[in-house]
Chain A
Amino acid sequence: MQQLTEIRWHARAGQGAVTAAKLVAETALELDRYIQAMPEYGPERMGAPIQAFTRISEDPIEIHNNIETPSAVVVLDESLLPIVDVTRGLLADGVLIVNTCTPPAQVRASLGLAAGKVASIDATTISKETLKRDMPNTPMIGALAKVTGLFTLDQVVDHLRKTFGKKFSQEVIDANVAAVTRAYEEVQVG
């Protein structure tokens, strides 16, 4: 039970948080971990605030409810910060990763967060420059891997190539790999 990692994703519907939650779970499965990934289901409206969840563990996972005490929170859209309590239940040694160009210290101050790690990554700009559209989900996985140490960059990239290889062009795959790599390298922790 000690090794249970619980990740809560906050995003707006359409930003790919559900896919990200799934990709992270699948990457962990390739490392022979036990996994879960699920969105919180409700009416589907583009742009509405949504949550998704990923659990990763060395042991079989028996919990089936929503994540209340996450060890990591990933926010794909910074406009959610004033309207959703994204740090609710975040463990004292937990990690908050936000898609923003605001430095971590300022994010921490604006949320009044005392403990844990705060990380900033401008996933929107990375996404626009690499994927040529605003789809911050894959860069956020790169940032998550770096800040939590859950995966090496190679592990994330390997899984992306494998899973995207089935349905996307080489160009799209390469752009996603570039997005993940940049986010992995550029994420700032404070």
Chain B
Amino acid sequence: MATQKTLAVTGNVLVAEAMRQCAPDVMGAYPITPQTTIVEEFAKFVANGRVHTEYVTVESEHSAMSACVGASAAGARVMTATSSQGLALMWEELYIAAGMRLPIVMANANRALSAPINIHCDHSDIMGARDAGWIVLFAETAQEAYDNTIMAVRIAEHPDVMLPVMTCLDGFITTHSIDRAQIMDDETVKAFVGDYKPENALLDTDNPVSHGNFAGLGGPYFEFKRAQRNAIDRSAAVIESVGAEWSKICERPFGMVEGWGMEDAELAIVAIGSTAGNARHVARELRAQGVRVGVLKVRCFRPFPFADIAEALAGCKAVAVLDRSESFGAEGGPLFLEVRSALYDRAERPAMVNYIYGLGGSDVKLELLRQVYSDLSDLADGASTPGRLVYLGAR
């Protein structure tokens, strides 16, 4: 019988607890603000014998992901965590992990990239890695970061998928804030994730295989990539079903996109991560005044839920997409480009505007979100035309 305990806890501590409950065989660990408390808490669990993980301390994130790739290919359940420059330093291994179809689970504490140096939240780190072939889940709260971590293990290791999964939580805002959240009992999580039975373990000497081979000109490289594409496409159904299963146990909702007020919204904000909560708070105020507003939160970014997003937004008059990262020189931020693309085949499309916001932890004040809804109202009335993109709240 599933039992949950209510705690006052930070996102990072709760992610470390989820990792302990999923009991990886190996963790490659290198600390970086604001991820550090995840690997720190996990190190305590190892030292206190609460989890029997081979905890590999390495000299860089490049090595952390290399250790994870090696251990995962050997047949181990593997986890790690990183942030910002650390994720950037992992770049080549991210592609290798996905190409070798290794079900590694990694938490990423979203943080800005240098320069100028900044330790605070934005999504530049993960958005730069969005094409690496990882499944990418986002959390709004500490609770969602916990749930995503547990679900990630099942999604990554599913035979139809076999891909690495990154679970993102907003640096400091979610990683370090103490929030009310529930932790499931260890046995229920253990039963939910089950044991990992690798199909092609390097250490299975009775069935020798090799990994990461040369596949040059005339080799199967091209077909490998198509297989990866097919796997991440198939993962959508797995994410939905694993999410539904966990949702039933923990009694919390899960959707690849989660709407609020979207049934009849005329003006909608699309956002990722903690900002979706701020937007919903403002949306509730406006609904109380009779304004038909909604919020669409994107919880799964890869695979991108095109159909769900198009369906949710098609009836709106005006839509604002909030990007917490830049795609310099592109016609908007990464989320905007994909959301707009999702609506292209629709006969009726809302007017759309893109806001770049909150870079380097710039505070997402409620008045800024009120401004966005007010801009949308003008846009819907034809009182203004959509701009190319707006830097929300920049001085």
Q: Decide whether A and B are members of one complex.
A: yes
Number of A-B contacts (CB under 8 A): 68
Residue-wise interface mask of B (281-293) relative to A, using a CB-CB cutoff of 8 A (1 in contact, 0 not): 1001100000000
Given that A22-B8, A35-B180 are known contacts, is A64 also in contact with B274, CB under 8 Å in the complex? yes
- Interface size, chain A (Cβ < 8 Å): 21
Shortest CB-to-CB span from B378 to chain A, Å, is 24
Query: Which residues in A have their C-beta under 8 angstroms from that of B172?
Result: 38, 41
Query: Which residues in B have their C-beta under 8 angstroms from that of A66?
Result: 363
Q: Is the CB of B365 within 8 A of A65?
A: yes
Query: Which residues in A have their C-beta under 8 angstroms from that of B174?
Result: 64
Decide if the interface of chain B is mainly helix, strand, loop or mixed: mixed
Q: Whole-angstrom distance between the alpha carbons of A8 and B165 in the complex? A: 37
Checking A36, A41, A62 against B281 with a beta-carbon cut-off of 8 angstroms, the contacting residue is A62
Given that A22-B8, A25-B8 are known contacts, is A64 also in contact with B173, CB under 8 Å in the complex? yes
Query: Which residues in A have their C-beta under 8 angstroms from that of B366?
Result: 63, 65, 68
Given that A25-B8, A29-B6 are known contacts, is A63 also in contact with B278, CB under 8 Å in the complex? yes
Shortest CB-to-CB span from B75 to chain A, Å, is 39
Does B62 interact with chain A (Cβ within 8 Å)?
A: no
A residues 1-37 touching B (CB-CB < 8 Å):
1, 22, 25-26, 29, 33-37
Residue-wise interface mask of A (34-66) relative to B, using a CB-CB cutoff of 8 A (1 in contact, 0 not): 111111010000000000000000001111111
Shortest CB-to-CB span from B171 to chain A, Å, is 9
Q: Is the CB of B177 within 8 A of A62?
A: no
Checking B120, B140, B179, B278 against A36 with a beta-carbon cut-off of 8 angstroms, the contacting residue is B179
Query: Which residues in A have their C-beta under 8 angstroms from that of B8?
Result: 22, 25-26, 29, 35, 37
The residues of A with any CB-CB pair to B shorter than 8 Å are 1, 22, 25-26, 29, 33-39, 41, 60-66, 68
* Interface CB pairs A-B, < 8 A, 9: A25-B178, A36-B177, A36-B178, A38-B176, A39-B176, A62-B280, A64-B275, A65-B363, A65-B364
